Structure formats: structure tokens, C-alpha cells
Homo-oligomer: A and B are copies of this chain.
């Protein structure tokens, strides 16, 4: 659907400013990039500006500012769940902040968003021994009946195993537990998003997944899930990886496993939320837009400092710094702080609908939603020529060692991914986020995951890249080679 709509966008054909060999690796080798001298010189002429931005954040007036503002924000509001008043209060606060820092055209844009909350959740191991079984429901899960569900457990490792002849006939009336191996988030998250539906098709009364994470300290990782059309919705939650392994061992020993679940959730009617917008209007070409973004909503566990407070705050704060330094680009710089990313890019969907006519003016779109750890550079979906331009730009980030330009394999961004998969060049923050999924959607998503210096550098990178792209004489090239044939995974990260 989205693919269809977006494909009618008129591609602005890439001018042929580049000669390059086959790019085998993800990284652009400098000698594969032969940019026109004029363009290369133009980018290099921003060195002083880039250094001014960097210095203001690393040593100067704005040092520590991103962390300080973010800490105050998350300490004040905590978790910011789609559909709640608390999220709306947080959005008001963010809009006020952007005004305080003198961004322009600061306003909210309405979107109808889901409102799912957990009331109580109790999991108990009944057999082979009595013990608490901590559970954390998956977003949109239905409740158990008032008396709960007490049922035998069947543990599987994969969907294939679930559907195998021997196992599938044993599922009816049982609780299916997925003790899946973590391969990567993109691959493993299918057990979270589709586990309940697949179990329900075979007559399961509930489903549980081992939390989707490469590392666990008995940590529960929630996340949205989807019931397939026509399938009976069954209650579904995550358990710890440790407990998934425990249940597997019981099963391997031939012990009968019985679990009791008392899960209560409420799905309210959709309510009105807002995407938060602030700008620095372009000096000569204000209709053209370079967009930087992150999402303001969070899960209800932890405080969403990492996911995605960091991404949202480097976005608006990058503009605040540019504004404070008196830097106005030719094109408009726009920060969008998405709402309701977690329940499925819902804020973005509405924004995409209402701004559809404007999309042809989107020169470049950026989103940070996979951590703001030590920044390394830019991951882009911008075509080979675009990659060369980005490489030339991030060379200016040498003072903070963030000079990598890496072509994305699977599309960049979460909210912006449908755009970047379809002609609009875009980028996300390349950062040392090896541990991102340790904390993702857990109680451990707290300010302590973030580092003030890293945030300064990430804001500097965000400001330098977006400013230069917004200010270059020629528009950033739109090329077809960044258009992926498949829609990227719509499960938000």
C-alpha cells in the first residue's frame, strides 16, 4: 500500500557526477568516489562552519546541553506511552523547549494513535515446581479470562518446529513458549510480532516468547505484536531468556510443565496525539526540506531515554545549536519528533499522509532510532553518488572521529524507512550501538545508558550533516539505486 503510493513520486534523476567501480563492501572507498571538483571544493569550504558547530558542542557553549535537556525531560515525564496524557504533556514540554531555543514554526501536527495499557500481569510456574514466572505483555495483547489461564506448556525453538507434524498436533489447549535463538533483531523479532498468531492457528490458548535480545540479565523486553486477520487473538507476553531456557530443560527432561497466566490489558479507543515540529526556515529555497527526526513516545518500561529520547533530542537540539550559532541554510531544516512510533510508526503514517504533496520537496531525511552511543558517522540509503557526497561531508567530522559513511543494507530509520526505501535519500546515525538491544524496550532503558559526551558528538554530527546538505548549491541527488525492492520490516525498532 505504502509502496504503491510512494512509487508515484517523481524521481529527480541523478545527474551523473560520479564514476565509481563496483561497490562490493558497504563502505565507500574514497578512491571509488570521483566527485566533481566544484562540489568537492564546496563541501570542503564548510570546514570552518563544521568546526564551529563541533567546538560549540564539544568544548563550548552547548557542551553537555543535549544530555542535560534530555535528562530533565525523562526525569520529569518518565515513560511516554502512546495514547496517554503523560505523552501529551511531554509533547507540550518539547514544543515549549523548541520555542525556548528559538526554533521557527514550532507546532504539533495531530495524529490518531493507539492506546494500550497493562493493568496487571502475573505469571506462575505451577509444575514441575512452584515459582514466580515474570512476564511482560506484548503490545496489543488481549487479556486472559478473569480467572486466568492455567495450562500445560509446549516449548518450541522455531516456527518450523511448531508447525512440524509431531508438534503441531500437540499444541491445542496449551501455552506455546518460543525459546528462539537470537540471530539478529530483524530476524528474531518475528517471534514477537507473529508468535501469538502462529500459535493461535494451532489452537494454543496463549503464547510466550523468550525476550528478543542478544544478552539478558533476566530482563524482559516488550514490543508491539500483531494479530493476523481471521485468527483468534490469544494473550501473549515475553518471559526472560533464562526462563525460556529453563522451560526447555524441563521439557527435555520429560517433566510436565504447567504455567498460570493472569494478564490484564486495556485497549482504549485511539486518541489524539501530535508529531512535534520545529524549523529553521531556508534562506533562499524554503520550500525544500532537510528533515531530522526521532520519536518522543516510548515503551512503558524504562523511561525511553535511549529509545528514542536520544534520537529525538539530538534532532531538535541540532537545530537549536545551528540557530544559536546564527547558521541559516538555503533550504529549510525541519526537526520532527514523531509520536506513536512504538505501536507501529503511527505518527509517521499520518504525517506521510498529510505531507504527501510536499514529499517531492524533501531533499534529505534523517532519523536516529538505534541509539546515540559514540557516533561513528552516517549510515545512508542515498545511492552511490549520494554516498560519495556523504563521505565528503563526514570527512569534516574528523575532529570527533565520526568519518564513516556506510551504505545501509536494509534501509535506514524506522519512521522514515518507507521514504528511504523509495527514492527519498536519507540517513541514520551510525553509532557504536552493539549493546542497543540489551536495553531495548526494557526497564533498563534509562539515562545511564547514555553518555553526555557521546550526545554532544552525535548532535554535532547531526547538525553538520543536515546543515551542509540543506545549504549546498545543488539539491542532494535522488537516485533509484537506493530503492529497495522489498518493503522494510514495518515492526518499529
Point out residues on A near B: beta carbons under 8 Å: 71-72, 75-78, 128-129, 131, 134, 216-219, 241-242, 245-246, 249-250, 253, 302, 438-439, 442-444, 446-448
Top 4 nearest A-B pairs (CB, nearest first) are A217-B444, A242-B446, A218-B443, A218-B444
Residue among B71, B241, B444 making CB contact with A448, cutoff 8 Å = B241
Evaluate contact between A242 and B447: CB separation under 8 angstroms.
Answer: yes
Give the complex CA separation of A246 and B77 in angstroms.
12
Give the complex CA separation of A302 and B442 in angstroms.
18
In the complex, besides A75-B250, A218-B443, A242-B446, 10 extra interface pairs with C-beta distance below 8 angstroms are A77-B129, A134-B443, A217-B217, A217-B444, A241-B448, A242-B444, A242-B447, A245-B448, A246-B446, A246-B447
Evaluate contact between B218 and A249: CB separation under 8 angstroms.
Answer: no
Give the complex CA separation of A419 and B402 in angstroms.
55
Evaluate contact between B246 and A131: CB separation under 8 angstroms.
Answer: no
Residue of B nearest to A215 (CB): B217
A/B interface sample: 18 pairs, CB < 8 A: A75-B246, A75-B249, A75-B250, A76-B129, A77-B129, A134-B443, A216-B448, A217-B219, A217-B439, A217-B442, A218-B442, A218-B443, A218-B446, A242-B446, A242-B447, A245-B447, A246-B446, A249-B447
Evaluate contact between A71 and B218: CB separation under 8 angstroms.
Answer: no
Q: Which residues of B contact A219 (CB under 8 A)?
A: 217, 444
Residue of B nearest to A86 (CB): B129
Tell me the minimal C-beta distance from A148 to chain B in angstroms.
Answer: 21
Residue of B nearest to A77 (CB): B129
Evaluate contact between A218 and B253: CB separation under 8 angstroms.
Answer: no
Evaluate contact between A253 and B72: CB separation under 8 angstroms.
Answer: yes
Q: A216-B448, A444-B216 are in contact. Are A131 and B245 (CB under 8 A)?
A: no
